[in-house]
Structure 1
Amino acid sequence: MNSTPAEPANTPLIPDLLVTTVIAWLGVAFCSLSCVVISYKAFQEYNRLRFGCVVLGALVLILCVVNTQRIWGNVTDDQYSIFRTINLILFIDLMVAITFDLGGRFYLPKDRVNVLYWSTIVATAIVNVMLIMAVVLQHMYTSAMGTTIDKVMRICWPVSVFLAYWYAFHPVIKIKKVGSTETHSSVVAVGICSANDDIRYLTGMGVLLLLHIIAVLIVIPYPPEYKELNIIESSFATALRSGLLGFYSFPPSATVILAVRRRFHRDSLNDKHLGPGIRLPDNDSNV
């Protein structure tokens, strides 16, 4: 192993400046628009979930803007790599946290900690440790090994978020298959408010994460000299993350949840908290 620190790297300026610049700034425009929409929704109908989405939207937007500065060499590849890793760790951890918060209301207290819960925790911890290790190896010891770990983690990190989302909506899928009426009443509402089926959130989120993985896989085989591809991939990835936040910002309405409770669970009408987790009312709560 080479024990000498890797030299600072900054690949040459890109050859096709116009195309890359347009795509990069289109990514910034999309992330900005998403951030505005999410912020407006959070301002109009505040809850913890939407506030978390605003914070994540800001992180994604900052990363997208920093990515554009690589076009003119204002940000070196090493600097961007460190910033991207820190941004990604924060994004993953916050996504998992707000998804657990969302999923809490779909579980009875005794069922909240289960195999999916611990699987998500373990997967997230592994991704965090490996991303930090990649940065250390890239900039202190051997760049090759650190770069390899970084690429693998950029492909694998969506697994953590997907597991968290699966945990959150597992009761919805379960009640759809079993048809049980004993599950927490707020679970039923997700299917009622869906125009397609009970797992539209899970499906849509899965598609976005899959597209993110595909984008990374397309770029990874190319060497660092193809800087324009890396910038375009980063713009595409940040746009997908912004789109992902849209799924979190417009969750099932509390009006629908209460309507379902009145029909199927009259004994739970006095439960004003809509379950053990966060509340997602659109009209009468700011929690």
Structure 2
Amino acid sequence: MATKILRNKTGSDFGVPASAQADEASSLITSPALHEGLSFIRKNSGKGGGYDYWADVPTGGSYRPDTEIGQRLAEEFIAFIGKYHNVGNATLLGSIMLAMEASATRGHKIGFMNTINKYAMAGGYVSQMPQDEVEPTKQTPDARPHAVIKLEGLLQEAAALLRENEDLKIAQVALNEHGIHTMYKMPGFRKPDALRDKIIAYRDGLRAFREMPIEKFTRENEDQIAADMYEKHEDALRAWKDAAPSREGAIEALKLLTEIDIFTEDFRVDGSLAQTLRLAALKYLEGLEGMVA
């Protein structure tokens, strides 16, 4: 009974070093028969048995096609030993090379060995890297409460559903400890926003002023026309001190900032149109803290 138990134990049960344990684990990986796993190996029939390690490999008739055949078979070989990395396959390359000496063309040999060399260089490079670069980076565990992580995932899923189903006409979903509140889009409805309305009025007035025929202006009426068409809206914007009331208003403020006339003023000057628009959008964004936008 004791003998049977000892036979079932592995190196790790007796304090064998990790490298030896890795070799032991590799030796336990079962691979298919070579002639079943690799297309260029054939099992010999007859009394001697064994394998032909370079069997029935076609030739392309010239050097270049033969190198391509060699490369393809080398890739097949690398994939095989990568999947079945056991002790038996660790010496397989030597047997293949001896067989190639007897029947492979020069193109076969160059194509095959150049490909093997490419993978050997990669392995050599990795072997010379500092250990801390080789080891995979451990993912830092999320320290947030489980409920917060789960809620974030649900919100992301809900946002994706809203984007993918615009026909639902859902404008916004809000939730708190009392329940879920769904706000639907109503055709023609716009949330009241005085800043947005002032910006639109200013932009429309300025555009109309610029499009007026030149013959309608005189030295006496030009200032009054400008005041009536857009300057009164500009003055109202300069006097604005609050955050943009809505997302749409903040967007309109940022859009107006991109228009060329705005940049004739200094952003840092209080009362300038540029400063007013910048602060209105900034205050709106600062007010979003803790909200799902």
Band the TM-score falls in, shorter-chain normalisation: under 0.3
Q: Give the number of the structure whose residues are more often helix, by fraction.
A: 1
The structure with the largest alpha-carbon Rg is: 2
Query: RCO higher in 1 or 2 (8 Å CA, sep ≥ 6)?
Result: 1
TM-score (norm 1): 0.22
